A and B are shown apart, each in its own frame.
Chain A
Amino acid sequence: MKQCGSGEKGIVVFVASHVSEGDKISEKLGELSFTHCPFDYEITAAQKVSQLEATITDIIKEDDILTKKICGYAGEISKLKVYADRLHFEKQKQEYSTEFKKTATTFTLEAFVPIVAKTAVEEKLLKASNALYFTFEEISEEDSPPTLMENNKLVKQFEFVTNMYSPPMYKEFDPNTIVAFFFSLFFGFIMADMGYGILLTLCLLFARKMKRDSGTRRLLYIIGVGGIFAFIFGVLFGGFFGLSRADGLNWLPKAVFPDPVVNSQEVLLYALMFGAVHLMFGYISKGLTMIKQKQVWDGIWDGFVWAFFFVGLLILFPYIAQSIFDIKLFGGFESPALLNNIGFGICGGVIAVEFFVSGRHSKGLGKPVKGFVSLYGLINVFADLLSYARLYGLMLSGAMIANIVSTMSLQLASSGVAGTIGAVIILVVGHGFNLAMGGLGAYIHDARLQFIEYFGKFYEGEGELFSPIGSNLHYTLLIPSKDAVKDNA
């Protein structure tokens, strides 16, 4: 045995033995983790290495030449992108065609078509060939068609939020209009500030510049609309970049709502009132969903009656404020006993009705058991209601940081040129950071309120979005020609 060389990975040894000992020695070497050297070239190792290095240099050169050649196509990038999309489309067609039932010369194709597109599809089919037969059928119970939502341009952007959770099922009530309103409302409530509202509304301009409908564009629209509401709430709270009349800026409008720091309980109750309205709409949506699925009485008892409970609850809010928090809402409004009685009457009435009505599908003992279960639902209602306290918490944290940033920079600005420069830096960085973090928190918690508190009442989701073959192109945007628009109108 002789050592031939050594390197980082180990040492190279040469072993020679008599044939009869061969197996024993192999075994022994195996125990010592000896691996067979794969070198079996005619030339020496050093020559082989320089051969391989020469090959590497050649490959690198060729790589350079090819890269330059590809760069030469730079002018054709848009055409190549369109071609890539076209190939992607062809590939999809091939993939789906494997599902057709075929004979040697014919095939069958089944597809879902939106009702609004029926005439256009018919025309295209007739133009395509004489040798075809087609028929349109209604959706049956066994089909699970994909979902195509018809909303106006503004509400359509908020489908982004709903789809983040799960798109609606075909038979479900489309919640996007309600989501659009309440999402923007809560977003505005949390960001309530005139300055931030203006900055957020600028996102709408960026959104308009983007021609393609994408996730980013929808998000910018959503934030922009939220910014409008933020501006409105900013006016109501009298805040401009965290400053208000209390900080000495007398040119700001007077706040309509009470100061969220001084009158903390009052503003918290207003946030909870918004929550009660939202939950009411949750139960209304439940009713509407069930009616859409032809279960009218279920919709009334499980949906609209519960929604009515919240009307009573809202009426009782001044009473709650007085008895628990010892404050008056709405600028000293003291609700008359009659109003309180109406509120209690409504709430009590709904609870009584629900107790009797919950067991309508069960028999015998099941009836009162279901009744008590519905009372447990009452606790859930209060738990849901208090979840909206986060609106107040988030709003206040954002407002306080904005206030601190602004007052600090104003103080700094009053001490010379260096102070002014520092003030501008603090303003930009501080408010930028607050806007970003506040906006992120607002978006997430707002979305969570929609998903858990609102959708939890009625929504099933698990729908599949209607995406026809060739509709998700990566690089191209198809805009219908003016002729096509006229034809379909």
Chain B
Amino acid sequence: MLSFLLEGEAIIAANLAPVIGGIGVALCVLLCGLGSAIGLRITGTTAAAVLTEQPKKNGSVMILSVLPSTQGLYGFVLGLISYTKISQLTGTQGWEMFIACLPLAIVGMLSAIIQGKTAVGGLKALAKSDLTSGKLILYPAMVETYAILALVVSILMTQNIVV
């Protein structure tokens, strides 16, 4: 009985690494995409409102409202370059992979939503004045810097796991 339990434990412990690692990568793609979607919804509704008043500013509005879509792509890219390693994870590497994906997952999702709100500020400024989108793009783009830094660290950490 005891040996059966110990064996069961060993099997469970050894096989969980891909599961945990897989959850990490999946969460990263999932949350980043979700964040982008929410951010885009926020800018999209304001963009529609701005365009009803001023259809001529179509180009500038489009550029500003598309900015939150980046983080979804970053999550996707991280998933693409890491997925081959998932099935080969052993021991505590599953947790390593999970933690490695956390920076981008959390920062990606929240920064996308926050970037959406910042872009809305830019859209409102666009509606009220004659500012071209050039100056207004800078501010939401600054939010993205931190998502990029998180992407870098996540890439470095996931690629550092030797399978």
Contact = CB atoms under 8 A, between A and B. Distances in A.
Contact of B59 (A164, A387, A448): A164
A389 B73 contact: yes
Interface residues of B, number: 30
Interface in B31-73: 59-60, 62-63, 66-67, 69-70, 73
B77 A268 contact: yes
A452 B122 CA distance: 15
A408 B159 CA distance: 33
Contact of A447 (B63, B76, B132): B63
Interface string B72-84: 0110110011001
B148 interface: yes
Contacts of B74: 389-390, 393
A397 B73 CA distance: 9
Contacts of B62: 444
Interface stretch (B4-12, B18-26, B149-157): B149-157
B159 A165 contact: no
Contact of A394 (B73, B84, B138, B159): B73
Given A326-B159, A383-B145, A462-B132, A164 B63 contact: yes
Contacts of B63: 164-165, 444, 447-448, 451
B80 A396 contact: yes
B134 A389 contact: no
A396 B73 CA distance: 10
A452 B133 CA distance: 11
A265 B84 CA distance: 11
Contacts of A396: 76, 80
B39 to A, nearest CB: 14
B81 A390 contact: no
Interface string A368-391: 000000000000101100110110
B106 interface: no
A166 interface: yes
A319 interface: no
A392 interface: yes
B141 interface: yes
A331 to B, nearest CB: 19
A380 B146 CA distance: 11
Interface in B109-145: 132-134, 137-138, 141, 144-145
Nearest to B75: A393
A325 interface: yes
A264 B81 contact: yes
A265 B81 contact: yes
Nearest to B65: A444
Interface string A160-202: 0001111000000000000000000000000000000000000
A461 interface: yes
Interface in A387-440: 387, 389-390, 392-394, 396-397
A393 B73 contact: yes
B128 to A, nearest CB: 18
| Residue of A264, A324, A462 contacting most chain B CB atoms (<10 Å) | A264
Contact of A397 (B60, B76, B134, B141): B76
Contacts of B67: 448
Contact of A325 (B69, B73, B159): B159
Contacts of B141: 452
Contact of A451 (B69, B81, B137): B137
B132 to A, nearest CB: 4
Contacts of A380: 145
Contacts of A164: 59-60, 63
Given A165-B134, A444-B69, 8 more contacts: A165-B59, A268-B80, A268-B81, A383-B148, A389-B73, A392-B80, A451-B134, A452-B141
13 contacts: A164-B60, A165-B133, A166-B133, A261-B80, A265-B81, A268-B77, A324-B155, A324-B156, A383-B145, A383-B148, A392-B77, A393-B80, A445-B69
